[in-house]
Amino acid sequence: MGKKRIPQIQEAGVKELEKIYRESNNHSLRLRCHIVLLKHQGHSSKYITLLKGYPQHQSTINNWVSRYEKDGIAGLKNKSGQGRKQILNKEAHETKVKEIVKLERRRLDYAKSLIEKDLDVKMSKKTLTRFLKTLGVSINA
């Protein structure tokens, strides 16, 4: 059994981590702050992996602690460019999508196929529905 890794954090750092853990809208950041706080309290990585909703691997937990020690809160945030890229961009596709949906308001499946052909993208009907919702377009009328 290895030695427990307990990060040494100043009181101000602990308060900042607790504030972000309680108040942040970003789920992954809250989770990572909680991990660092639990490690600071002396809990093992194995214990933290057993908590519901936490990473399955102890190495992941230790990586977050290392990133916090190196870069502070900035090390716990997602870097830009991570995650799935948008299929439809509001600025680039808004007018074209609105135009096609206006013509084929009752046949959303057909409108979707026209948009896919016109913009050279593949998407689900649900993706189109969500995009229209962000644009404030009613599809029920």
- pLDDT tens digit string along 86-100? 899 888 899 999 999
**Are 54 and 31 spatial neighbours (Cβ–Cβ below 8 Å)?**
yes
pLDDT digits (tens, 9 = 90+) for 21-50: 999 999 999 999 999 999 999 999 889 999
Neighbours of 1 (CB within 10 A): 5
pLDDT in tens, 64-79: 999 999 999 999 998 8
User: What is the SS3 assignment for 85?
Assistant: coil
Q: What is the pLDDT of residue 82?
A: 79
Mean pLDDT of 97-122: 91
Identity of residue 88? L
